[in-house]
Amino acid sequence: MKKYDIAAYIWPAYTGDEPRSRIFWEEGIGEWQTVKNSAPKACGYSWDRKPLWGYVNEADPYVMSMQIDAAADHGVNVFIYDWYWYDNRPFLENCLNDGFLKAPNNSRMKFYIMWANHDANYTWDIRNSSAMGENCSVWRGAVSRSQFENIGHRWIKQYFTRENYYKIDGKPVVSIYELNNFVTGLGGVEAAADAIRWLDGECKKAGLAGVHFQFVRWNGYWENITGVDGEVMETTPELVKALGFESLTHYQFVHFANIDRDYAEILPDVQKEWDKVADMYDMPYFPHVSVGWDNNPRFKEFRHGVVINNTPEEVEKALRAAKAQADKQGVSLITVNSWNEWTETSYLEPDNLYGYGYLEAVKKVFTE
């Protein structure tokens, strides 16, 4: 059987070990607070998802050891950690540094970083998430060249040189979530391209083959999508290539598809997007599958834009379609949103509704 790399994004907020996170979640358990306290809306809508594993601290190496085994046993063999840098220092590194990297069995799993370089606002804080809170910047995601060099050296020292860091052609992969912030913070397209060349050189000095930058494509327009972290920059294949990116993927169906409908209705549009993107860009496109979308837990009022009937059976169909797409394009990496985006209702972790259903879907498609 052909080997596939199934890479699930990780939202590293399910811990209270990061002191700065308490401005959003004061109970000290990270965004589990939002999951635990989710209440029915005035319109009667109710969200009642609960984790079978409980509100565990995902910065605990023994918790992550259990999760690594569950993921690997079901065919998920790569974790993509959302990685943050705000106010001149890292944010929410604990789940990766203290949980995953200290887990005794982390050699079963590869990992890489997606720099989630969007601005931080009050979407994470249900007390202030509505109206002005979504447009109120707590921290800026754009960084200067000097800050980027600090970040690059940190990536190389702490992550890139590890045996289980995910690499393509010997190059550690780093994914960029928001191109607009990346380019504007560094001072423009050529300055951003020069920063990528600098990091490539630093990686070679460290004994690596260079660095592989991966572009996260949104919908191709400047407008922001309500309730989604960050903003969207209109991009062209020429721009992405000129910057030095070597591959691309997606992060969420909501970034490019109408998701306020049945999952089975969404999938054909997703497949069209896969084909369009694969044709547009002169670099590998890694197909992406999202489990669902519903970010109502983060808000007091009801939010339109809810995927319905995203059952394990329907997600299995999407995974099979992504596998066929990967075969057609001659690639073996497939990204999945996500391992644990509970407050966006897009996760593989077992819950009170489907049990291990989503993980079993992955297992059926990629290991059996």
What tens digit of pLDDT does each residue of 172-182 get?
Answer: 999 999 998 99
pLDDT at residue 239 in the model? 87
Tens digit of each residue's pLDDT (9 = 90 or more) over 110-161: 999 999 999 999 999 999 987 666 678 899 999 999 999 999 999 999 999 9
The arithmetic mean of pLDDT across residues 290-299, rounded, is 97
- Are residues 71 and 53 in contact, defined by beta-carbon separation less than 8 angstroms? no
pLDDT at residue 1 in the model? 65
Strand partners, 167: 172
Tens digit of each residue's pLDDT (9 = 90 or more) over 306-362: 999 999 999 999 999 999 999 999 999 999 999 999 999 999 999 999 999 999 999
Q: Give the confidence band of 368 by pLDDT, cuts at 50, 70, 90.
A: confident
Query: Would the pLDDT of 225 be above 80?
Result: no
- Are residues 344 and 266 in contact, defined by beta-carbon separation less than 8 angstroms? no
pTM above 0.75, yes or no: yes
pLDDT at residue 87 in the model? 95
| CA-based nearest residue to 68, from 42, 100, 114 | 100
The arithmetic mean of pLDDT across residues 250-261, rounded, is 97
Alpha-carbon gap, residue 276 to 329, rounded angstroms: 12
Q: What is the mean pLDDT of the chain?
A: 94
* Burial class (CB within 10 angstroms; exposed 0-12, middle 13-18, buried 19+) of 131: exposed
Specify the length of the chain in residues: 368
Alpha-carbon gap, residue 257 to 266, rounded angstroms: 7
The CATH number of 5-366, from 3.60.140.10, 3.20.20.80, 3.40.470.10, 3.20.20.70, is: 3.20.20.80
| CA-based nearest residue to 29, from 19, 16, 48 | 16
